[in-house]
Amino acid sequence: MNVLEYYEPWSKLNNCLKRQIGFYAQWLLDNVFILDYRRPSYEVIDHRYINVML
């Protein structure tokens, strides 16, 4: 398991610091350290309440 994969689930926690770490881990896995077996975040999240994505 990649270290960033360990921190990625933290993006859903209520602790602000851990949530930030999880967000950065998710961003890095989506944009810098791309893993073949991992689906990008934009394919996994619920898009029903999102009007615009940059």
What is the 3-state composition of the chain as percent helix, strand, coil, each rounded to the nearest 5? 55, 0, 45
In a domain, 47, yes or no: no
Total count of domains within the chain: 1
- On whether residue 53 sits in a domain, the answer given is no
Distance CA 22, CA 29 (A): 11
Verdict on whether the full-model pTM lies above 0.85: no
- 20 in a domain, yes or no? yes
Q: What is the pLDDT of residue 11?
A: 92
- For 6-53, the pLDDT digits (tens) are 999 999 999 999 999 999 999 999 999 988 889 888 888 888 988 887
> Is 54 within a domain?
no
DSSP assignment, residue 10? G
pLDDT band at 54 (very low <50, low <70, confident <90, very high): confident
Asked if the structure places residue 52 within a domain, the reply is no
Q: Containing domain of residue 14, as a range?
A: 3-38
Residue 49 falls inside a structural domain: no
